[in-house]
């Protein structure tokens, strides 16, 4: 046992192991507290249906947080790209290729704007992205004039609806499969690609990274651009699930998404993080609301327990980090 605890894997994966244990304990509580709900499949299907919408963004945002930066504008990027997707879909009679390319390009453009404001103009990311948060949402309101767009006629029953959100074998929501695949891919990029490597070095120490010949500005810009892309993608998934665009789309995503990243163990100070941790963070944050209600507590507890989880988690990580230093 002590051998196991001292093994190389355990030593280098303390965060991942802690977060996994927390998730297991949480699900055990659900299971024991509400067996009538948690021994049956529908609750898990509901989780698989709803988690990917913010989970995809959380995975992508882990790159930006590892840089020591933050992006608060993604809820509005989801909004503006969903609007464009809806408008193009309805006006082209469901041409998904054009709609997809335009929506994701706009997402990347919005990310590029964030990246340029942060690197070339030198505005701290928390300030710059508050600006763009309002800007893109404002643009949504101006363009949509407050009304929604139904895409049910051009999307429902199509092959693209099937590959985005229908159920595999009638059970597993496709968006969850996509979420798993993307998580795996992003984990690979995060740890084993040059770009992921540079993200870690820039987040760790910008000056050192520059001295090692890493183009700090480019790394940051690309990180914001990919977050723009994945925000657009998350918006498109949501559109297919709901078959409707509404002007506040994306607004509820901010706290759950960032909470998943931080509960997952990625350091706010940059330089260290884990995609796997974010994934578990998504499972935790995404299950809290239904879990709490299923346990018989009123919905009023949701935010309270959410807040408790986040505060405890980041405190534990900060203490682990301090002991290391």
Partner 1 sequence: MAEELLKLENIYKNFGNVKVLKDVNIKINKGEVVALIGDNGAGKSTLIKVITGVHSPNSGKVFFKNKEVQIKSVAQSRKMGIEAVYQERALCDQQELFRNIFAGREITNSFGFLDIKKQRKEAEKILRDYIGFTSKAITVDSQVMGLSGGEKQGVAFGRSLYFNSDLIVLDEPTMGLSIQETEKVLNFVKGLKKENKSAIFIDHNIIHVYGAADRFIILDRGEVVGEFNKEEISREELVQKMIQLHESGKIKVED
Chain positions contacting partner 1, by CB under 8 A: 8, 12, 188, 192-195, 197-198, 200-201, 204-205, 207-215, 271-272, 324-325
What is the residue-wise DSSP string for 46-97? Answer: HHHHHHHHHHHHHHHHHHHHHTT-----HHHHHHHHHHHHHHHHHHTTS-HH
Task: In whole angstroms, give the CA distance from residue 82 to residue 149.
Answer: 10
Q: How far is the CB of 183 from partner 1 (least distance, A)?
A: 17
3-state secondary structure of 244: strand
Least CB distance to partner 1 at residue 190 (A): 11
Token digits for 319?
């203490």
Structure tokens at 120: 């070339």
Report the alpha-carbon distance of residue 204 to residue 210 in Å, rounded: 11
Strand partners, 150: 244
CB of residue 7 vs partner 1: minimum separation in angstroms? 13
Burial class (CB in 10 A: 0-12, 13-18, 19+), 302: middle
DSSP code of residue 171: T
Shortest distance, CB of residue 19 to partner 1, whole angstroms? Answer: 18
* Paired residues of 167 in beta bridges: 173
Q: Are 19 and 149 in contact (CB under 8 A)?
A: no
CB of 264 to partner 1, least distance (A): 17
Q: Is the dihedral of CA 125, 126, 127, 133 positive or negative?
A: positive
CA distance 110 to 95: 23
Q: Which residues contact 221 (CB under 8 A, 6 or more apart)?
A: 112, 115, 116, 119
- Whichever of 202 and 309 has its CB closer to partner 1, that residue is 202
> Directed axis angle between helix 74-91 and helix 41-66, to 10°?
120
Least CB distance to partner 1 at residue 219 (A): 11
Nearer to partner 1, 298 or 325 (CB): 325
Of the pair 208, 311, the CB lying nearest partner 1 is at 208
Closest to 283 (Cα-Cα) out of 41, 23, 13: 23
Q: Nearer to partner 1 by C-beta: 68 or 86?
A: 68
Is the Cβ of residue 95 or residue 205 nearer to partner 1 in the bound state?
Answer: 205
Nearer to partner 1, 215 or 248 (CB): 215
Nearest approach in angstroms of CB 8 to partner 1 is 8
Q: How far is the CB of 195 from partner 1 (least distance, A)?
A: 7
Question: Which C-beta is closer to partner 1: that of 162 or that of 212?
Answer: 212
Nearer to partner 1 by Cβ, of 141 and 205: the residue is 205
């Amino acid at each position: 046992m002590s051998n196991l605890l001292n093994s190389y894997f355990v030593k280098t994966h303390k965060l991942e192991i802690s977060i996994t244990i927390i998730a297991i304990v949480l699900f055990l509580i659900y299971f024991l507290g509400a067996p009538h709900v948690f021994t049956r499949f529908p609750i898990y299907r509901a989780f698989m249906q709803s988690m990917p919408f913010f989970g995809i963004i959380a995975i992508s945002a882990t790159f930006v947080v590892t840089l020591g930066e933050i992006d608060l504008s993604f809820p509005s990027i989801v909004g503006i790209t969903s609007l464009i997707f809806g408008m193009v879909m309805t006006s082209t009679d469901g041409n998904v290729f054009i709609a997809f390319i335009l929506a994701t390009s706009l997402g990347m453009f919005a990310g590029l704007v964030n990246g340029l404001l942060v690197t070339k103009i030198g505005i701290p990311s928390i300030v710059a992205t508050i600006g763009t948060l309002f800007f893109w949402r404002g643009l949504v309101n101006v363009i949509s004039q407050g009304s929604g767009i139904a895409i049910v006629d051009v999307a429902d029953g199509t092959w693209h609806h099937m590959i985005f959100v229908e159920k595999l074998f009638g059970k597993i929501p496709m968006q969850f499969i996509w979420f798993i695949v993307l998580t795996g891919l992003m984990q690979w990029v995060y740890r084993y690609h040059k770009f992921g490597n540079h993200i870690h070095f820039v987040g760790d120490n910008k000056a050192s990274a520059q001295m090692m010949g890493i183009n700090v500005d480019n790394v940051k810009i690309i990180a914001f651009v990919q977050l723009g892309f994945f925000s657009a993608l998350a918006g498109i998934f949501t559109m297919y699930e709901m078959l409707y665009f509404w002007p506040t789309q994306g607004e509820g995503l901010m706290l759950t998404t960032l909470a998943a990243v931080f509960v997952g163990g990625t350091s706010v100070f940059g330089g260290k993080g884990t995609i796997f941790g974010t994934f578990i963070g998504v499972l935790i944050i995404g299950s809290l609301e239904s879990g709490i209600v299923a346990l018989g507590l009123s919905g009023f507890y949701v935010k309270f327990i959410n807040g408790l989880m986040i505060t405890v988690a980041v405190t534990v990580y900060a203490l682990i980090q301090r002991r290391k230093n």
